[in-house]
Structure 1
Amino acid sequence: MALEWEQVNVDATDPAALGRWWAEALGWVVVGDAPDEFEIRPEKDRLPGLIFAPVPEAKVVKNRLHLDFRPDDQEAEVARLLALGARHADVGQSGDEPWVVLADPEGNEFCVLGPRRG
């Protein structure tokens, strides 16, 4: 048996707005824009994607799952994401980690990693 990773599901109070934010942040394309789900992918026929589904409640606690991104230039990427509407997030990090924790406009945490070592 083989499994193919199709997508990550993200609960959202405004799926279209959050999906568009992530599409801009990642440079991805919108492949589905229905009232009950908004889907983006790296390219139209490339997986995995992110799908945003409506929920009535706002996020309350730290995510149990989050995405990590490794940019070419961490400082520039953090600045770009903050300008798009991300914000710094505190999930209990000590402050001397080589990554930066941010949150998207609905509060979902993600990490912007530093340079790969070795």
Structure 2
Amino acid sequence: MALVWEQVVVDAADPGALADWWAEALGWTLVSEDPDEYEIRPAPDRLPGLLFLRVPEAKAGKNRLHLDFRPDDQAAEVDRLIVLGARRADIGQGEQSWVVLADPEGNEFCVLGGRPAG
């Protein structure tokens, strides 16, 4: 039996706005839009995607699952994401080589430093 990773589902108060934000942040494409469900992917025929679903409740507490991204230039990418609307987040990580940010609805994600040699 084989599994194919289809998507990560993200609860959102405003799925359209959050899908648009992540599409801009990642350079991905909107492939499905419905008032309660939006999906973005790296390209229309590429997986995995991010599926944003409307939920009535607000985010509460730290994410139990988050995404990590490794850019070519960590500082430049953090600055770009903050300009787009991300904010720095303190989840108790202390001083680390990665930067924790939160998207416009408060979902944390990490921007990693350069990949170690080897």
- TM-score of the alignment, normalized to the shorter chain, above 0.5: yes
Task: State the TM-score bracket (shorter-chain normalisation).
Answer: over 0.9
Q: What letter is aligned with 1:110?
A: F
1:25 alignment partner in structure 2: 25
TM-score by length of 1: 0.98
Shift in Å, 1:82: 0.1
Q: What letter is aligned with 2:54?
A: P
Equivalent residues in 2 for 1:1-118, closer than 5 Å: 1-95=1-95, 97-118=96-117
The share of aligned pairs that are identical, in percent, is 73
Q: Which runs of 5+ in 2 are unaligned?
A: none
The alignment covers a number of residue pairs equal to: 117
2:25 is paired with a residue whose SS is: helix
2:53 is paired with a residue whose SS is: strand
Shift in Å, 1:35: 1.6
Shift in Å, 1:69: 0.1
Q: What letter is aligned with 1:102?
A: L
Shift in Å, 1:36: 2.3
TM-score by length of 2: 0.98
1:16 is paired with a residue whose SS is: helix
Q: What letter is aligned with 2:30?
A: V
Q: Report the Cα distance in structure 2 between the residues aligned to 1:35 and 1:14, rounded to whole angstroms.
A: 9
Q: Which runs of 5+ in 1 are unaligned?
A: none
Q: CA RMSD in A?
A: 0.5
Q: Report the Cα distance in structure 2 between the residues aligned to 1:36 and 1:105, rounded to whole angstroms.
A: 18
Q: Report the Cα distance in structure 1 between the residues aligned to 2:36 and 2:62, rounded to whole angstroms.
A: 24
Runs (4+) off by over 4 Å: none
Q: Report the Cα distance in structure 2 between the residues aligned to 1:94 and 1:65, rounded to whole angstroms.
A: 19
Shift in Å, 1:94: 1.3
Q: Report the Cα distance in structure 2 between the residues aligned to 1:13 and 1:36, rounded to whole angstroms.
A: 9
